Structure 1
Amino acid sequence: MTRIIADISMSLDGYVTGPDPGPNNGLGTGGDALHTWAFSDDPDDLRVLREGTARSGAVVLGRRLFDVVDGPGGWDDTVGYGAGEVGAPPFVVVTGSPPTTVRLTALDWTFVSTGLADAVAAARGRAEAASRERGEDLDVVLMGGGATIGSALAARLVEVLSLHLAPVILGAGTPLFTDGAPRALVQRSVTATTTATHLVYDVG
């Protein structure tokens, strides 16, 4: 069964970027520390990364994150979705204004301008089609940014929340959780490594 999984790295004080993020500074000042685990040699970090990437049937991201990954300093043949595994799944971008050009033309991009719910629905369709083709369950992964995942949580579009808690305090940046209704989560797993604590919750 295809699940909708929000998957993101976060600081101990709740930020998914450092201060002053932008197209040329995607993770903000000090934000690179959030993703140290994704480039780690720790066996548990590698397992978390590979298992998450392997189950990705489609990936949803917001326009600001797209501008970062598709920008001149963004993804390339060595850095992309899943760190060393550049984007095998299709990518669905929620945006009010699709770009006129795309740098990463080898990747499968779909731009949805009718809202986040429609973007998630489009991604679910792609993931379910891939599941049938491969004969295994594949998921939709919301990779960010923080505002996109926050909006998806608020709209109750997310079924599983996968957090990679980095041992860093950023002090400012893009918060994952802002004002919203209280939510009860069911903890499913905790994996502690030298670079992160990987937490998985079912979202009620």
Structure 2
Amino acid sequence: MSKIIFDSGISLDGFFAGENRGPKNPMGGVSGQIHSWMFNQKAFWEYLGFEGGKEDSADGKYIRETIARTGAFIMGKRMFEEGEASWPNDLYKADVYVLTHEKREPWVQEGTTTFYFINDGIESALSKAKKSAKGKDIRIQGGANTIQQFLNAGLVDEFFIHIAPVFLGNGIRLFDGLDKDKYDLQITEVIPSDLTTHLRYKLTKK
């Protein structure tokens, strides 16, 4: 049965992205600081179809397991716009539903990635993603506002946070504007590594 999940890196002081993010400055220029653990792994580059990475550690095992369990993605327009010009072809290898007010035909890539542009809200995107996922998990890819919408709607079953050992000082926080009384949270897994700490949380609606 599909779970609704998200998987995000944050700084030690809680920031998901830097300020002034946009298509010419994805994630506000902090991706290297937040996601260095991922870029260091052979599993990440194998997924992209390139050679790279220095290690194949517990971080790499986590990457492979997450890829295997994910059957569809949902993201916001801002995240899509930041990656549209630079992402490699067939990055997601699954159907991706983009929340937007823009009416646009599906973008079918070579391989197994198709981007669908959803104009009627998160429930509609989720319904379509469930059909695409075929029993696998649906991953809310981002950005922060999209993740917050799903959390506040009570639609998230589980999430993974990767805490990088850096302070950003400012930027976009992942958990701003949340209904703090929506869920009870339980830590179900902790995976330490040199470049991050992975935390897995189960959410139960109150």
TM-score (norm 1): 0.84
Are 1:105 and 2:129 matched, yes or no? Answer: no
- 2:79 alignment partner in structure 1: 65
Q: Give how far 1:180 is off.
A: 2.9
Compared CA separation, residues 98 and 175, structure 1 to 2 (3 A): farther
Task: Give the distance between the partners of 2:140 and 2:106, measured in 1 at CA.
Answer: 23
- 1:197 alignment partner in structure 2: 197
Structure with greater strand share of residues: 2
Q: Give how far 1:193 is off.
A: 0.6
Task: Give the distance between the partners of 1:139 and 1:178, measured in 2 at CA.
Answer: 25
Aligned residues: CA RMSD: 1.8
- 2:120 alignment partner in structure 1: 114
Task: Give the distance between the partners of 2:165 and 2:60, measured in 1 at CA.
Answer: 18
Residues 7-156 of structure 1 aligned to structure 2 (within 5 Å): 7-40=7-40, 41-71=55-85, 74-76=86-88, 86-99=91-104, 105-106=109-110, 107-128=113-134, 131=135, 138-156=136-154
- 2:175 alignment partner in structure 1: 177
Task: Give the distance between the partners of 1:177 and 1:111, measured in 2 at CA.
Answer: 25
Compared CA separation, residues 180 and 30, structure 1 to 2 (3 A): closer
Task: Give the distance between the partners of 1:9 and 1:175, measured in 2 at CA.
Answer: 11
Which residue type is aligned with residue 176 of structure 2? T
> Runs of at least 4 residues of structure 1 off by over 4 A?
99-102
Q: Give how far 1:101 is off.
A: 8.6
Tell me, yes or no, if the aligned pair for 2:12 and 2:165 is still in contact at 8 Å: yes
Which residue type is aligned with residue 33 of structure 1? Q
Task: Give the distance between the partners of 2:75 and 2:159, measured in 1 at CA.
Answer: 15
Tell me, yes or no, if the aligned pair for 1:58 and 1:90 is still in contact at 8 Å: yes
Compared CA separation, residues 150 and 178, structure 1 to 2 (3 A): same
- 1:134 alignment partner in structure 2: none
Q: Give how far 1:141 is off.
A: 0.6
Higher RCO (C-alpha under 8 Å, 6+ residues apart): 1
Identity within the alignment, %: 32
Task: Give the distance between the partners of 2:123 and 2:105, measured in 1 at CA.
Answer: 23
Give per-residue Cα distances to partners, 1:139-165, cap 9 Å, x unaligned.
101111111001111111111011111
Q: Which runs of 5+ in 2 are unaligned?
A: 41-54
Report the 3-state secondary structure (helix = DSSP H, G, I; strand = E; otherwise coil) of the residue aligned with 2:28.
Answer: coil
Tell me, yes or no, if the aligned pair for 1:117 and 1:157 is still in contact at 8 Å: no
Compared CA separation, residues 42 and 173, structure 1 to 2 (3 A): farther
Task: Give the distance between the partners of 1:75 and 1:164, measured in 2 at CA.
Answer: 22
Tell me, yes or no, if the aligned pair for 1:31 and 1:170 is still in contact at 8 Å: no
Q: Give how far 1:200 is off.
A: 0.6
Task: Give the distance between the partners of 1:62 and 1:179, measured in 2 at CA.
Answer: 17
Tell me, yes or no, if the aligned pair for 1:112 and 1:119 is still in contact at 8 Å: yes
Tell me, yes or no, if the aligned pair for 1:59 and 1:142 is still in contact at 8 Å: yes
Task: Give the distance between the partners of 2:128 and 2:116, measured in 1 at CA.
Answer: 9
